[in-house]
Structure 1
Amino acid sequence: MQNNNGKRESNARGGNQRGGSMPTGPRGGGMPGGPRGANPGAAQPKVSIAKSLKRLSVYTKKSTGLIILTAIAVLIGTLVTVLTPKVLGNTTTIIFAGVKRAAGIDFTQLRLTLAILLGLYLATFLTSFLQQRFMTVITQDITRRLRRDLKAKLNRLPINYFDQHQNGELMSIATNDVDNIVSGLQRSLTSIISSVITVIGVFVMMLTISPLLTLVVCLTIPVMLLVARLVTPKAQKYNAEYFGSLGQLNTQVEESLQGFTVIKSFNGTEEALNKFEHANKSMVTSGWKAVFISGLTMPMMTLVQNVVYVLLAAIGSLSVVSGSMTLGNMQAILQYSGQFSSPLMQLAQIWGTLLSMLTSIDRIFAVLDADEMDETLGDYPNQLASDAKVSFNHVQFGYDDKLLMPDFNMEVEPGQMTAIVGETGAGKTTVINLLERFYDIKGGALLVDGQDIRNMSRHELRTKMAMVLQETWLFSGTIFDNIKYGNENATDEEVYAAAKAAYADDFIQKLPDGYQTVLNENADNISQGQRQLLTIARAFIADPEILILDEATSNVDSRTELIVQQAMARLLKHRTSFVIAHRLSTIYDADRILVMDHGNIVESGTHQELLAENGAYQQLYQSQFATA
């Protein structure tokens, strides 16, 4: 989602709202279907390797030129590496032949051969340097674009997606999985290209020396294929479990840090440590299994390589003694056997990295493929002749198949203050969620200024609104920037004026750095009441047509509450407003009070009118003030 001013983004939950804190889910109407905490990626259907790599290749298109240069560098470097043993073998042959001849060693030919050998080594160094340089640029660019797309995707996902997935898991995907892909590409891409070219080049060179010994060396190929066939399924399984456990671990750490004071207050340290230990143990178990299974390939390949080397040495020695092969060629074939086996072993080792990378690719694309909010403008009937600012006409809504609101009706006049009260789960916050289009209605019509909100973009709709919620949300940054968040086009004078209107200027001026005071991650370096005043100032600067207050004074002391209420009274003046209240003392002056129960309005009127009815409102009032 993008915020109302279309600039700075907030975190994923409720990032569109202006002037207030973040919503924490449909508290008033129960959570939508699906358990919160599902792992996007841990239980995904198995995706083929080719399909996963094809999807990732989309992010390499802008780096096509560098990839071509990298491939050329790899090709040249590999060919040089393949030629080196042959030239080195020629050096041995020249020296050996010179020792046997009476004329001695041909130093002219030897110097030429050594000069060629030195040139080959220098070329190997240069191509290796270029490969690493190009791959660093390529992988970092992929990282940037993957994270950019993930962030943009999270802002386009509906609220219910975040109700069903843990924040720690999503953070793990955006950080750990992206890093895993990049490190995997960095290690494996050039190695795979180099290994394939090396195997082909070495095979050709060995054929020119001895077809029989070449056949012996090729015994390693079926072994590698068999090992890969056995290892791949289990490695993929444990890699998926590992990254799922990593997301769970991130969630545990995030929750412990956010609730540190509560954990200490309720002596919950041991329980928190036990939860962390469980997640940590699960991650370690799946992690070592993935590494162990993937690592089985190396010792098996090493065993086969040693056996092949012994066979080559025995057969080659007999060939040299019989005169059918020169000593230099035998030396070359032994070196080539190492060069032939080494890429195969490297491929086997890379295979585990590749499987881990593929798991991360699948988890990332599980998020990127998730259904987004429908931004298509509707063609629903409007009622532009209506004088009501907000109208709920026979609205139907439910978070699952069961309707929470079977037939909800309400009209709010311009400038009217409407308070909504009721027991927990009555549907109070659901009304606000529907008004802000955090969720879409399933029937009926919801109109603002006579226009069905489904005919408006969410951006257009939310520019008309601001929210001040019970859970204050302030981002890490200066107080000035937090206030200006409500309107990025506001001038400095307007920011200061908004702070004064919200009664926040006084405490801000007393801070060491004033408006440039930097708030930490949870804004814990100022009090709860001060945080609330800043959110009110943010709403002031947004200058909304519709204001939503959700228990905005419930977390502050009585003295601070008076200041906050004075600030809100200024903010509410001449604005259409919705106030969700648990403390009835805050809504005595409301133009209209709605009492909700199970998604329906059961009573409606002013404070005095509802008390006179001796109904549900009167019972709520008595429950709060009977003992006063």
Structure 2
Amino acid sequence: MSGGGPRGRGHGPFGGGAPVSKAQNFGPSAKRLLGMLRPDALWLTVVVLFGVISVALSVVGPKLLGQATNVVVAGFVSMQFKNLPAGVTKDQVIGQLHASGQGQIADMLRGMDFTPGQGIDFTQLAWLIGAVLTVYLISAVFMWLQGRILNIVVQRAMHRIRMMVEDKLHRLPLSYYDRMQRGELLSRLTNDIDNIGQTLQQSMSQVVISMLTVVGVLVMMFVISPLLAVIALVTIPLTIAITVVVAKRSQKMFIAQWAATGVLNARVEETFSGHAIVKVYGHQHDVQQAFRGENEAVYRASFGAQFVSGIIMPAMMFVGNLVYVAIAVVGGLQIAAGAISFGDVQAFIQYSRQFTQPLSQLGSMANLLQSGVASAERVFELLDEDEESLDPDPAQTVPEDASALAFDDVAFRYLPDTPLIDGLSLGAKPGNTVAIVGPTGAGKTTLVNLIMRFYDVDSGSIRLAGVDTRTMTRADLRSRTGMVLQDTWLFSGTIRENIAYGRPAAAEDEIVAAATAAYVDRFVHALPDGYDTLLDDEATNLSVGERQLVTIARAFLANPRILILDEATSSVDTRTELLIQRAMSALRTDRTSFVIAHRLSTIRDADLILVMEHGAIVEQGTHDELLAAKGAYWRLYNAQFEAPVLDTGAPPIPAGVGSMQVSGASGEAGPGVSEGVN
């Protein structure tokens, strides 16, 4: 930003990235993220209810399969006694086995329900298999419904977060954008928010199902065998311990990963937006080296985060396998002792898998949760930024045609310990053109920022028609102001839409009149679609000067009471500039105009010229008065028009730089002297 703008974190194509911000704790951030789902609490209740039904049915499945196994085993065992006389009971068979010294087999058969010689009961077996299929089918339907509803809930939450961020961006002061890299900000708005959505989508359903499954399976295991259930419970403290230890290390790495990603995005955005400059000065190698370094930082942070968090799943599987072996051994001994049936042990082994699997899934989701919460912290940091001060309520207003503007002992600085503007006082009457000149960094653009209330003054006041602008709403103040900057901004749309941005309700003839006044009409008809020519997001299908003319036409159409021109004609040729100056002279009638100019020939007819140095007005007057005073303005004028290659206080051009630069400097004097003479 020229004219003494703030020195933020912008650094050109070759500087370093933004520092890593301090992260919040995982717990508070996760709780705040879940709070974003509160508006859909009713649907979340339905999600949990459907999850309970689905899990309950899936938990019943192994028990039914165990009963089916018992039917098969009992039928097979009963066939071993088919040669016994009819009417022999299970107890008689067991008694005969004990009498014959086969007590261990007798104990095992005691835990089975069979009728000697009956065989497999296929009717009961078919009923059990049908029940299992029905249970699993209904469970799958409720699981699908739960996933669909949860998807709707998550997408609504992401829509709300994006709207919150959008609203927040409009409430942030300009100082935030001055210090925040554009690529870093875009990374938070795109990568981080998308990562939050993916985390919620992939983890929430799994977390709910896993927790419900653990509870349901644990109940069924205690019903079948309390002893085996206690063995299975060993998994829980081991899982918690492993997850906590790994999560503490991986959280920092995920924060570093997303911070490094933001820095890399900032590098890519600023490098390729200035790609032509990089090429011209031959800095491709420097940019590539910087990119490689930052890409390596992303790689190291991502690899470390994924590697550390990836330890959880293998560790959980190892613990689960140990528990599986213990259950198989103890269960086999209980079968031999007749304390439990084959089907119950089979069901319990399935339950043990169902029990350890959700614990393993919860552990494996730690990396996903850590990554999502790390992204949420970065978005919350944006949402927690200090906002612009609220507009006064009630606010004062001024007449529609008011344009008299006055600075009264204004003081302002971007940084508390760096003085910029102190004790500035000036007045501009309706119809006056106030030109502001001075060296780079003198505070010219800062003056414009204060008029528009992009920044508020530290002390003193700026008054519009006698009313302190801080007592007006920003929208009211800015609606009376038109601004044309040196850096053009056009959006993706037609030329007509870009001009109408100054006054969307304008009629077609008003748009054409504004375009004609700004000499846009002159080149528009040479384009294939005229005013309907579609501009891309960078408006690369127009030249720099043509883009500037469109922005001037936009200001013409807005018909503001206060007009601010910040080097508005610096990108057009001399002839077009003279034509635009004539059009602007008509536009400035009965309006207050502030013109920031480096080419002094463009402001010779100004009613008041302010010469600024180091944030202070060192001279003011008309062009002729300031030249006669032979002060700062006189030195600027002579340096620009009369002796551009003489000593102006700048360091000499080093030997060997090349004659092209010297001739370029002197070549610029020709038109300047001509304009000065005219």
- Quick one: higher RCO (CA 8 Å, sep 6+), 1 or 2? 1
Describe the shift of the 1:382–1:138 C-alpha distance in structure 2 as closer, same or farther (beyond 3 A). closer
Matches of 2:592 and 2:121, distance apart in 1: 101
1:29 deviation in Å?
Answer: 1.7
Matches of 2:432 and 2:544, distance apart in 1: 28
SS in structure 2 of the partner of residue 525 of structure 1: coil
CA contact (8 A) 1:196 1:343 kept: yes
Equivalent position of 1:599 in the other structure: 615
Q: Deviations over 1:253-277 (max 9, x none)?
A: 1112211111112222222222221
Matched, 1:331 2:350: no
State the Cα RMSD in Å. Answer: 2.2
1:39 deviation in Å?
Answer: 8.7
Matched, 1:187 2:202: yes
CA contact (8 A) 1:611 1:618 kept: yes
Q: 2:287 aligns with which of 266, 272, 294?
A: 272
Q: Which amino acid in 2 is paired with 1:439?
A: Y
CA contact (8 A) 2:29 2:377 kept: yes
Matches of 1:253 and 1:362, distance apart in 2: 23
Describe the shift of the 1:533–1:567 C-alpha distance in structure 2 as closer, same or farther (beyond 3 A). farther
Equivalent position of 1:474 in the other structure: 490
CA contact (8 A) 1:412 1:418 kept: yes
Equivalent position of 2:138 in the other structure: 123
Matched, 1:440 2:473: no
CA contact (8 A) 1:483 1:538 kept: yes
Describe the shift of the 1:114–1:39 C-alpha distance in structure 2 as closer, same or farther (beyond 3 A). farther
Q: 2:637 aligns with which of 609, 617, 621?
A: 621
Matches of 2:572 and 2:556, distance apart in 1: 20
Larger mean Cα displacement after TM superposition, 507-516 or 556-565: 556-565
Equivalent position of 1:298 in the other structure: 313
Unaligned residue ranges in structure 1 (runs of 5+):
1-24
Q: Deviations over 1:490-543 (max 9, x none)?
A: 222221221112111121122111111111121111011111110111001111
Equivalent position of 2:387 in the other structure: 372
Matches of 1:530 and 1:563, distance apart in 2: 14
Equivalent position of 2:25 in the other structure: 47
CA contact (8 A) 1:536 1:568 kept: no
1:40 deviation in Å?
Answer: 9.0
Q: Deviations over 1:317-340 (max 9, x none)?
A: 122122221111111111111000
Matches of 1:225 and 1:134, distance apart in 2: 30
Describe how 1:503-514 pairs up with structure 2 within 5 A: 503-514=519-530
Q: Which amino acid in 2 is paired with 1:606?
A: T
Q: Deviations over 1:14-34 (max 9, x none)?
A: xxxxxxxxxxx4x21241577
Describe the shift of the 1:380–1:497 C-alpha distance in structure 2 as closer, same or farther (beyond 3 A). closer
Q: Which amino acid in 2 is paired with 1:509?
A: H
Q: Which amino acid in 2 is paired with 1:621?
A: Y
Q: 1:548 aligns with which of 555, 558, 564?
A: 564
SS in structure 2 of the partner of residue 510 of structure 1: coil
Matched, 1:174 2:220: no
Matched, 1:449 2:465: yes
Matches of 1:73 and 1:432, distance apart in 2: 60
Unaligned residue ranges in structure 2 (runs of 5+):
79-116, 644-672, 674-678
Q: Percent identity?
A: 43
Matches of 2:380 and 2:545, distance apart in 1: 42
Matches of 2:34 and 2:129, distance apart in 1: 42
SS in structure 1 of the partner of residue 6 of structure 2: coil
SS in structure 2 of the partner of residue 343 of structure 1: helix
Matches of 2:582 and 2:272, distance apart in 1: 34
Equivalent position of 1:89 in the other structure: 66
CA contact (8 A) 2:18 2:181 kept: no
Equivalent position of 1:73 in the other structure: 50
Matches of 2:403 and 2:136, distance apart in 1: 82
So what's the TM-score if we normalise by structure 1?
0.92
Between structure 1 and structure 2, the one with the greater Rg is 2
Q: Deviations over 1:369-405 (max 9, x none)?
A: 1110002328999999xx9801101111111223312
Q: 2:509 aligns with which of 493, 509, 513?
A: 493
Larger mean Cα displacement after TM superposition, 76-85 or 335-344: 76-85
Larger mean Cα displacement after TM superposition, 55-64 or 594-603: 55-64
Matched, 1:28 2:3: yes
1:573 deviation in Å?
Answer: 3.4
Describe how 1:510-525 pairs up with structure 2 within 5 A: 510-525=526-541
So what's the TM-score if we normalise by structure 2?
0.85
Describe the shift of the 1:203–1:58 C-alpha distance in structure 2 as closer, same or farther (beyond 3 A). closer
1:182 deviation in Å?
Answer: 1.0
Q: Deviations over 1:202-260 (max 9, x none)?
A: 11111111111111111111111111221122211111111111111111111122111
Q: Deviations over 1:40-99 (max 9, x none)?
A: 9942243241x2233223422332232122111111111111111111111111111112
